[in-house]
Amino acid sequence: MNQIDLSIVILSYKSKEHLAVLLPSIFASQIKYSYEVIVVDNGSNDGTMEWLEAWNVKHEAYNIKSIKNGNTGFASGNNLGIKQANGRYLLILNPDTQLEPGALQIMLEFMESRPDVGITGCKIIKPDGKLDLACRRRFPNPWNSFQRLFLLNNKNYNYSDIDENKEMEVDSIVGAFMMIRQVGISAGQNVGKSDFRLPNGNYLDEDFFMYGEDLDLCWRCKEAGYKVWYYPKTFITHFKGSSSAKIPFKALKWFHQSMWIFYQKHYAKNYPFIFNWLIFCMIYLRLGVLILINSFKTKPVVSA
């Protein structure tokens, strides 16, 4: 098995229209490194696999690896693709994105120059040109989560008080574009650091069905002694929410479930039972309120 520089893992759910935009932007990249593209289809049942097969025939020089999967969730589907990856670096990439021509080259050069960085993400903009605030985040905690979700104040959570063009160490980036250093690939590169994979070898915790798994991975990366870095010297466009908009109720449920799982995993042990119970009630009270609000909206809320 020949090792390459970068494995790009794309998890698709009813996203063939977006793949038709994303894949050409990948193969048009100005990149000097070797790379492969792995697309995992998470039970789309809309002809995505057949479209991919036809695309591969038409563009056989690119030879995309395609994997058919049931809808087992974001973490599970990406882990399936990662297990087929041969790269020194991994890139978890949403299908509803479009790359700038130099994005891969710039981000790989940065990772090569910074062995202390375990995970990095670029600047992410939405189609209207505004920053996707999720591309740089502090870890959610009881206070900043309350501010963000109930007071609609995300300043403390999304670093929105800091210039979006400033590169910086952050708590977390977002799974829409997440470049990961494959731990243990090169001798000596992990001196003083530990493996941030789970005991079962997975990068993403499959307890999270959708949402939250990127935060959890960044938490483990930092615990292992690596840095998580926001590097806005290049950008991608994110057509955000395309998959979740197709299943708004489920997406809303998974979003709130992920908040509770993350809290239980990383915070609950530090607080008394009554406080944890209060957090649980607040999370699911918010879910109930949003379900009620969605019943009156033509464009439902699907996450934060």
Sign, CA dihedral 165-175-220-285, equals positive
SS3 category, 64:
coil
Question: pLDDT grade, residue 303 (50/70/90)?
Answer: low
Q: Torsion over CA of 161, 167, 171 and 177, rounded to 10 degrees?
A: 110
Structure confidence at residue 183 as a pLDDT band (50, 70, 90): confident
Over residues 226-235, the mean pLDDT reads 97
Instruction: Look at residue 187 in the predicted model and tell me its pLDDT.
Output: 38
Selected residue with higher pLDDT from 245 and 269: 269
Residue with the bigger pLDDT between 60 and 37: it is: 37
SS3 category, 34:
coil
Predicted confidence (pLDDT) per residue in 274-300, tens digit: 988 988 888 888 888 777 876 776 666
* pLDDT tens track for 96-136: 999 999 999 999 999 999 999 999 999 999 999 999 999 99
The pLDDT-based confidence of 253 (bands split at 50, 70, 90) is confident
**Between residues 246 and 261, the one the model is more confident about:** 261
- Bridge partners, 181 (sequence order): 89
**pLDDT tens digits for range 69-106:** 988 899 999 999 999 999 999 999 999 999 999 999 99
pLDDT of amino acid 148: 66
- Rounded to 10 deg, the angle between the 248-266 and 213-223 helix axes is 20
**Whole-angstrom Cα distance, residue 13 to residue 303?**
17
Mean pLDDT across 236-254: 75
3-state helix, strand, coil in the chain (%, to 5): 35, 20, 40
Give mean pLDDT, residues 194-202. Answer: 92
CA 290 to chain centre: 24
With a cut of 60, say whether residue 191 has pLDDT above it.
no
* Contact assessment for residue 209 and residue 100, using Cβ atoms and an 8 Å cutoff: no
Q: How many CB atoms lie within 10 A of CB 6?
A: 23
Q: Which residues contact 258 (CB under 8 A, 6 or more apart)?
A: 208, 209, 210, 211, 212, 213
How much is the pLDDT for 219?
Answer: 95
C-alpha distance from residue 247 to each of 14, 210, 265, 281, 301 (Å): 11, 12, 26, 24, 11
Q: What is the pLDDT of residue 63?
A: 78
Q: Which residues contact 224 (CB under 8 A, 6 or more apart)?
A: 118, 183, 193, 194, 195, 196
Inter-residue contact 12 to 48 (CB < 8 Å): yes
Instruction: Kindly give, in sequence order, each residue whose CB lies less than 8 Å from that of residue 122, ignoring residues fewer than 6 positions away.
Output: 103, 106, 107, 135, 177, 231, 232, 233, 234, 235, 236
**Best CA proximity match to 75, nearest among 264, 257, 246:** 257
For the chain, percent of residues with pLDDT exceeding 90: 57
- Please state the pTM of the whole predicted model: 0.89
